[in-house]
């Protein structure tokens, strides 16, 4: 009886699309059996049944709340509790999704600032994609937004961003309010790459300065690898950004 009550906290998500970008990076889209409202930048708790129990972990949502599916961008951690279970999924398989979607790593609309610098590492791009998709969709619906977004996403090699690279490049070409800077930290392993090189934190001042986004008019965000976040926070602190306008979302590897 207790197990049944616990499972009422979840709905089911059916895998409808999967795209593997590399051996350890993939995008997963689920058809959820009920509508789950959320704010772009929040995360879903996704679980798998293992030995009669639900093993679950939080994953930032890539999709917009306006889209008819839930999408997540996952990095395989071989010793992790859930990511190997993602890699075992086939189309039509189902997962458990906690009905309450939460998180505070969302677009700051309360500070009065309309410029936003968003730095991420690989899967750390997820909340930024959700925010950008949502602003684009709402713009097409006739809503206007004053928010200007600079998204800087670092990866070891360009293909690790998969189809998100094309999506974000296209959005940047179409919309004046969105600027996208992908950067590759191992360009010697990606000889066809002609874009920016270095880690995300290496170029945040360069592109923020180019656009005139500074401590007087912008909010800054860092999502993904904890070391990138600490480096970026130190850079922004030296650039006089107040602590309340430096947002962070760390992706930790949780082991059992």
Residue 166, in any domain of the structure: yes
Q: How confident is the model at residue 256 (pLDDT cuts 50, 70, 90)?
A: very low
Beta bridge partners of 18: 28
Which structural domain, as residue segments, surrounds residue 145? Answer: 115-250
- Please check whether residues 88 and 131 belong to one and the same domain: no
The model's pTM is: 0.94
What are the residues whose beta carbons fall under 8 Å from the beta carbon of 113, sequence distance 6 or more? 217, 218, 219, 245
Q: Is the pLDDT of residue 156 over 90?
A: yes
- Please check whether residues 90 and 135 belong to one and the same domain: no
Distance of CA 32 to the CA centre of its chain: 19
pLDDT at 252: 59
Least Cα distance to 116 among 146, 136, 138 occurs for: 146
- Please check whether residues 60 and 134 belong to one and the same domain: no
For the chain, the average pLDDT equals 94
pLDDT digits 0-9 by tens, 136-154: 999 999 998 899 999 999 9
Q: How far apart are CA 212 and CA 218, in angstroms?
A: 9
- Please check whether residues 238 and 129 belong to one and the same domain: yes
Residue 109, in any domain of the structure: no
Q: How confident is the model at residue 7 (pLDDT cuts 50, 70, 90)?
A: low
**DSSP characters over 113-157:** --EEEEEEEGGGGHHHHHHHHHHHHHHHTT-----EEEEEEEESS
Residue 167, in any domain of the structure: yes
Domain finish residue from 71, 98, 125? 98
Alpha-carbon distances, residue 165 vs 122, 161, 223, 239 (angstroms): 10, 6, 17, 29
Q: How far apart are CA 191 and CA 157, in angstroms?
A: 10
Residue 110, in any domain of the structure: no
Q: Give the three-class secondary structure for 44.
A: strand
Q: What are the E-state strand segments in the chain?
A: 10-22, 25-32, 43-50, 53-60, 70-75, 94-98, 115-121, 148-155, 178-184, 196-197, 218-224, 246-250
- Please check whether residues 94 and 120 belong to one and the same domain: no
Identify the CATH number of the domain in which residue 74 sits.
2.40.30.10
Least Cα distance to 150 among 130, 132, 163, 127 occurs for: 132
Least Cα distance to 61 among 111, 11, 127 occurs for: 127
pLDDT at 251: 77
Residue 103, in any domain of the structure: no
Q: How confident is the model at residue 37 (pLDDT cuts 50, 70, 90)?
A: very high
- Please check whether residues 133 and 241 belong to one and the same domain: yes
- Please check whether residues 154 and 93 belong to one and the same domain: no
- Please check whether residues 227 and 169 belong to one and the same domain: yes
pLDDT at 1: 40
- Please check whether residues 198 and 231 belong to one and the same domain: yes
Q: How far apart are CA 38 and CA 45, in angstroms?
A: 12
pLDDT digits 0-9 by tens, 96-119: 999 999 999 999 999 999 999 999
Residue 256, in any domain of the structure: no
Q: Is the pLDDT of residue 8 over 70?
A: no
Q: What are the E-state strand segments in 127-252?
A: 148-155, 178-184, 196-197, 218-224, 246-250
**Number of compact structural domains in the chain:** 2
Residue 126, in any domain of the structure: yes
Domain finish residue from 73, 98, 123? 98
State what percent of residues in the chain have pLDDT above 70: 95
Least Cα distance to 136 among 69, 207, 64 occurs for: 64
Q: How far apart are CA 60 and CA 71, in angstroms?
A: 9
The predicted model gives 72-98 an average pLDDT of: 95
- Please check whether residues 61 and 144 belong to one and the same domain: no
pLDDT at 250: 85
Residue 108, in any domain of the structure: no
- Please check whether residues 124 and 174 belong to one and the same domain: yes
Least Cα distance to 20 among 65, 83, 79, 101 occurs for: 83
The predicted model gives 6-10 an average pLDDT of: 74
State what percent of residues in the chain have pLDDT above 90: 91
pLDDT at 27: 98
Q: Is the pLDDT of residue 62 over 90?
A: yes
- Please check whether residues 85 and 43 belong to one and the same domain: yes
Q: Which tokens go with 211?
A: 């656009």
Q: Give the three-class secondary structure for 112.
A: coil
Identify the CATH number of the domain in which residue 243 sits.
3.40.50.80
The predicted model gives 217-239 an average pLDDT of: 97
């Amino acid at each position: 009886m207790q197990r049944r009550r616990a499972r009422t906290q979840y709905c089911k998500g059916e895998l409808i699309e999967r795209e593997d970008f590399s051996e350890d990076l993939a995008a997963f889209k689920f058809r959820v059996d009920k509508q789950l409202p959320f704010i772009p930048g929040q995360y879903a708790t996704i679980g798998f049944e293992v030995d009669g129990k639900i093993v679950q972990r939080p994953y930032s949502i890539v999709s917009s709340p306006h889209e008819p599916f839930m999408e997540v961008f996952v990095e395989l951690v071989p010793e992790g509790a859930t990511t190997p279970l993602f890699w075992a999924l086939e189309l039509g398989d189902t997962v458990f999704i906690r009905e309450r979607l939460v998180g505070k790593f969302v677009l700051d609309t309360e500070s009065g600032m309309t410029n936003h610098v968003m730095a991420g590492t690989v899967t750390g791009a997820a909340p930024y994609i959700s925010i950008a998709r949502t602003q684009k969709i709402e713009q097409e619906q006739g809503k206007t937004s004053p928010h200007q977004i600079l998204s800087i996403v670092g990866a070891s090699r360009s293909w690790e961003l998969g189809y998100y690279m094309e999506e974000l490049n296209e959005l940047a070409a179409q919309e004046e309010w969105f600027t996208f800077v992908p950067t590759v930290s191992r360009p010697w392993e990606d000889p066809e790459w002609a874009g920016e090189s270095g880690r995300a934190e290496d170029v945040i001042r360069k592109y923020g300065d180019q656009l005139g986004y500074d401590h007087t008019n912008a909010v800054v965000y860092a999502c993904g690898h904890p070391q990138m976040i600490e480096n970026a926070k130190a850079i922004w602190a030296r650039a006089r950004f107040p602590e309340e306008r430096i947002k962070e979302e760390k992706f930790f590897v949780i082991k059992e």
